[in-house]
Amino acid sequence: MELILDYIFTVQFAIFAAIVTFAKLGLKFVPQNRAYVIERFGKYNRTIEAGINFIIPIMDKVAHDRSLKEQAVDVPSQSAITKDNISLTVDGVLYFRVLDPYKASYGVEDYAFAVTQLAQTTMRSEIGKMELDKTFEERDQLNANIVNAINQAAEPWGVQVLRYEIKDIVPPQSVMSAMEAQMRAEREKRAKILESEGDRQAEINRAEGEKQSKVLSAEGDKAEQILRAEGEAGAILRVAEAQADALRKIGEVANTPVGQSAVQLDLATKAIEARHAIARDSSIVLLPDNATDAASVVTQAMSVINTINKNQTPAA
């Protein structure tokens, strides 16, 4: 009886151990961003992705472990000839990732090596279409052309190239010397142009300053002349107004009897002075017989004034 129990226990233990071993071998925990390619009896069966998965031990096996992350691969330096027959040494870095683990496993033996070689050949081909100066000026366009060409060829491999970056473009030493001389000449040319532009601008500024100075000076002279003319006009106007006021007041006084007498006396005095001036300045003077008598002169002047007053009385 004890032998039977021992046998049953041994069988149960063996079955349990087999189940545990079978489960251990059959359970597969796939990490994130990875994929396992499963083969059954050497033939592709399926692709399992991140998480817990179960395969049949002995029958199934993980044939390929593919990373779905973006990968960076250095593209070794190589020689390339430009369109204008200049030899260059070019290297770069390639960024790609696996889109289809099945194609990456069965479409090509080593997809990383394949895309690297394809990047080298494509880079040589694209550089051969461009002149030397364009390889430096249009590096972004060159990178884009290389990426497009690689993706078209790498599609059967289940690989997508995300970007390609050229790290260094090294021309021959003779070309570098010529480029340095050209750049030096360009810098000297730009320096001379900037210097001449500075001198030109300085001359323009100086001329503008002189022009503004002359304009301001002319405007100042004009304003001064205007003010002087206005001042003189005002002075003349004030003198005229003063003379007009004086004449107005003289007329008002002369309209009175006393004023008439003063006017008559003033006229007589001026007549005498005029006769004396004529006698002093001229050697020959024709005078009436009684012209030398001051009283007669005054009488004659008074008679002239009275005659004038009589002639004006009817008109008034």
* Beta bridge partners of residue 160, listed in sequence order: 97
Q: What is the pLDDT of residue 263?
A: 64
- Look at residue 114 and tell me whether its pLDDT is greater than 50: yes
Give the E-state strand segments of 153-272 in sequence order: 159-170
The packing angle between helices 173-254 and 257-281, to 10°, is 110
Tokens of 58: 């002995």
- Output the pLDDT for position 248: 73
Per-residue pLDDT for 316 more than 60?
A: no
Q: Tell me the per-residue pLDDT of 52-92, one tens digit each, with 9 for 90 and over.
A: 888 888 888 888 889 999 999 988 888 888 888 888 888 88
Rg for the chain, CA atoms, rounded: 63
pLDDT at 98: 92
User: What is the end-to-end Cα distance of the chain in Å, rounded?
Assistant: 185
Q: What is the pLDDT at residue 265?
A: 67
Distance of alpha carbon 52 from alpha carbon 61, whole angstroms: 15
Per the model's pLDDT, the better-predicted residue between 101 and 292 turns out to be 101
The percentage of the chain sitting over the pLDDT mark of 70, rounded to a whole number, equals 75
Please indicate, yes or no, whether the overall pTM of this predicted structure exceeds 0.85. Answer: no
Reported as a single tens digit per residue, the pLDDT across 124-183 is 888 888 888 788 778 888 888 889 988 988 889 999 999 998 888 888 777 777 777 878
pLDDT, tens only, 215-243 = 888 888 888 888 888 888 888 888 888 87
